[in-house]
Amino acid sequence: MKTIGVGLIGTGYMGKCHALAWTSVKAVFGDTPDIKLAVLGEVTAELAAKRAAEFGFAKATADWRALIADPGVDVVSVTTPNQFHAEMAIGALEAGKHVWCEKPMAPKFADAERMAEAARRSRASAILGYNYIQNPAIRYIRKLLDEQAIGKINHIRIEMDEDFLADPDQPHSWRSEATAGYGALDDFAVHPLSLIATLLGRAEAVFGEMSKPYPDRPFKGGRRAVETFDIAAALLRLPGGVSGAIHVNRCAWGRKGRIFVQIFGGRGTIVFDQERFNEVQVYVATGEAEDQGFRTILMGPAHPPYGQFIVAPGHQLGFNDLKIIECRKLIGRMLGEKTVAIDFDEGLAIERAVHAIAKSSREGAWTKV
Ligand SMILES: NC(=O)c1ccc[n+]([C@@H]2O[C@H](COP(=O)([O-])OP(=O)(O)OC[C@H]3O[C@@H](n4cnc5c(N)ncnc54)[C@H](O)[C@@H]3O)[C@@H](O)[C@H]2O)c1
């Protein structure tokens, strides 16, 4: 494979991140085929043409089916709202294209199952946008866990909070429609679940809770009912007797991009916060009690693949860099490498956990995943 032709569907928040990743991945890693920005798809021909000119794509279309059929497209980035992921990703896989689809897979479990089946049937690679697992800091934490640096793990607790829906007068959007899924559960909780899957394994049973802080939001001069739950929580039973808890909130004033991870073991604790995501805090209970405390480890070239971006330690990576790393992982899979990424089978396990949490919240009982 000498070149990779890219098709991008959607150019909102995530679409731009994918475009930047495809533009930068070869410069950062140096070892990929040439990347050709082939076709960009948007809802109107006008918007598609505007974004194609901005992002540097050769062609633009308002018809995503034409994009996936284009012989110049080898891989399709799906960055549209959740309800479109299934038909676009399955369509692309059936056309023999590789797929990089944003999370969550799909609001309906049956659609996520169809996506996973399509990926299994296809010879192409398919991964999901679970960028947070790609952080060098998370890779370092995984290494610490493998080395038993804090002993046997007994508990993990992850909170994910942002405030983009904290204002009750924030206008209604697709994110508050039931077509997007449950709400905070499949928008946010999937990220902590992806981190837990990467660090410790899949949840075996869950006890969930979902709540709706605001009943309606402004819409076309009036107000429209909010159909989603913007706050959710779950207790988790994890492999090896480890207990877990996740709390997620899209209405958390003051929290801008917090994913607060605490991992407790028999000999210490590891703490990580996405708002300071170039740092890992490690506490190991050894030595004199008066000397014990958390150490802060600042990411640098010793924490791969940080050094691919910049030679200087402590100069910090940003969110878009996680997308570039994720892009390299997908290319690796396309080239037959085994890389760390959430593929459609692992994604389906996350969806299964999400639906089990929602069921548990409705029924008020522990639910097997
Ligand atoms: N991985 C992450 O950290 C992360 C962060 C934010 C969003 N997301 C996911 O990314 C997806 C998109 O979210 P967003 O915040 O970018 O949304 P957005 O509303 O900013 O962008 C969606 C884009 O898709 C376009 N679109 C909609 N229907 C289309 C169609 N039929 N054909 C072509 N284009 C179409 C819209 O015009 C818009 O430009 C969601 O599934 C969301 O869950 C992931």
pLDDT tens per residue across span 286-334 = 999 999 999 999 999 999 999 999 999 999 999 999 999 999 999 999 9
Q: Which residue has the tokens 């549209």?
A: 80
Q: Is 24 in the pocket of ligand 1 (CB under 6 A)?
A: no
Gap from CA of 14 to ligand 1 centroid (Å): 6
**pLDDT tens digits along 71-87:** 999 999 999 999 999 99
Q: What pLDDT sits at residue 283?
A: 98
Residue identifier of the C-alpha nearest atom 25 of ligand 1: 10
Tell me if the pTM is above 0.75.
Answer: yes
Q: What pLDDT sits at residue 255?
A: 98
Gap from CA of 13 to ligand 1 centroid (Å): 6
3-state secondary structure the chain: CCEEEEEEECCCHHHHHHHHHHHHHHHHHCCCCEEEEEEEECCCHHHHHHHHHHHCCCEEECCHHHHHHCCCCCEEEECCCHHHHHHHHHHHHHCCCEEEEECCCCCCHHHHHHHHHHHHHCCCCEEEECHHHHCHHHHHHHHHHHCCCCCCEEEEEEEEECCCCCCCCCCCCHHHCHHHCCEHHHHHHHHHHHHHHHHCCCCCEEEEEEECCCCEEEECCEEEECCCECEEEEEEECHHHCEEEEEEECCCCCCCCEEEEEEEECCEEEEEEHHHCCEEEEEECCCCHHHCCCEEEECCCCCCCHHHHCCCCCCCCCHHHHHHHHHHHHHHHHCCCCCCCCEHHHHHHHHHHHHHHHHHHHHCCCEEC
Q: pLDDT band for position 20 (50/70/90)?
A: very high
Question: Mean pLDDT over residues 30-43, rounded?
Answer: 98
Alpha carbons 26 and 127: distance in angstroms, whole number: 19
Gap from CA of 323 to ligand 1 centroid (Å): 15
**pLDDT tens digits along 224-268:** 999 999 999 999 999 999 999 999 999 999 999 999 999 999 999
**pLDDT tens digits along 185-236:** 999 999 999 999 999 999 999 999 999 999 999 999 999 999 999 999 999 9
Give the position, in ligand 1's atom list, of the atom nearest the Cα of 323: 1
Residue identifier of the C-alpha nearest atom 36 of ligand 1: 10
* Structure tokens belonging to residue 344: 């459609």
**pLDDT tens digits along 110-131:** 999 999 999 999 999 999 999 9
> Is 183 within 8 Å of 82 (Cβ atoms)?
no
Residue identifier of the C-alpha nearest atom 39 of ligand 1: 12
Alpha carbons 38 and 166: distance in angstroms, whole number: 38
Q: pLDDT band for position 1 (50/70/90)?
A: confident
- Which of 290, 232, 292, 284 is closest to 263 using CA atoms? 284
Q: Is 129 in the pocket of ligand 1 (CB under 6 A)?
A: yes
Query: Roughly how many angstroms between the first and final C-alpha of the chain, as a whole number?
Result: 40
Q: What pLDDT sits at residue 112?
A: 98
Q: Is 15 in the pocket of ligand 1 (CB under 6 A)?
A: yes
